[in-house]
């Protein structure tokens, strides 16, 4: 085992652990902060995969901008208090069963994968650079990029409207 494998294992474990904290934390603030650590550990995995541009974008966009929006909405809606108790409802039971079914399907698919290394084809020097990513975003993926930005804007305006009625 070399240092890269050890770091990958550590980052993978810490990513899964902090993602679990996101799910099971009682306070929305604690969940949001655990999500920030999940983003940082995921950026560490990107660095180990030599995807430095993705790692930088992960930290800047998700751990920076998106999490600031999440914390703004949590504090604006006054969700900082811990929840009183967890009620077991029909929708929660269906959601949990669905999540377990999807996890079981994922395990089955992963066990059926062949144990070979995929050929990714020839890699050029421009692969993964900001210029290449920018050209892809603003030519091929322009509509989904703008749709996501519009969705974030609408969700932020919606949270302000919902919080405004409480004030």
Confidence tier at 97 by pLDDT (50, 70, 90): very high
- pLDDT at residue 152 greater than cutoff 90: no
* Mean pLDDT to the nearest integer, 76-88: 65
For CA atoms 152, 155, 161, 165, the dihedral sign is: negative
Mean pLDDT (the chain) is: 84
- For domain 1-83, the question of CATH label 3.40.5.90 is answered with no
Give the end-to-end CA distance of the chain in Å, rounded to a whole number: 57
Q: Are 74 and 80 spatial neighbours (Cβ–Cβ below 8 Å)?
A: yes
Q: Please give the share of the chain, as a percent, with pLDDT higher than 70.
A: 89
Please spell the DSSP secondary structure of 56-112, one letter per residue: HHIIIIIIIIIHHHHHHHHHHTT--SPPS-----HHHHHHHHHHHHHHHHHHHHHHH
pLDDT of amino acid 84:
60
CA dihedral (142, 68, 82, 35) in degrees, to 10, reads 70
Minimum mean pLDDT among 7-21, 34-48, 96-110, 143-157: which range? 143-157
Q: Express each pLDDT in 125-151 by its tens digit.
A: 777 778 888 888 889 999 998 998 898
Find the length of the chain: 167
């Amino acid at each position: 085992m070399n240092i890269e494998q050890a770091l990958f294992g550590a980052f993978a474990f810490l990513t899964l652990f902090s993602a679990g904290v996101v799910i099971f934390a009682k306070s929305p603030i604690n969940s949001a902060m655990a999500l920030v650590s999940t983003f940082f550990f995921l950026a560490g995995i990107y660095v180990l995969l030599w995807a430095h541009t993705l790692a930088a974008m992960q930290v800047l966009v998700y751990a920076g901008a998106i999490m600031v929006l999440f914390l703004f909405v949590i504090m604006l809606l006054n969700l900082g208090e811990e929840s009183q108790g967890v009620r077991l409802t029909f929708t929660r039971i269906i959601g949990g069963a669905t999540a377990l079914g999807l996890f079981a399907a994922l395990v089955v698919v992963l066990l059926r994968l062949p144990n070979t290394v995929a050929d990714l084809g020839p890699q050029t020097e421009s692969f993964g650079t900001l210029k290449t990513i920018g050209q892809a975003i603003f030519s091929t993926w322009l509509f989904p990029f703008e749709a996501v930005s519009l969705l974030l804007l609408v969700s932020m305006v919606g949270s302000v409207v919902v919080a405004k009625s409480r004030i």
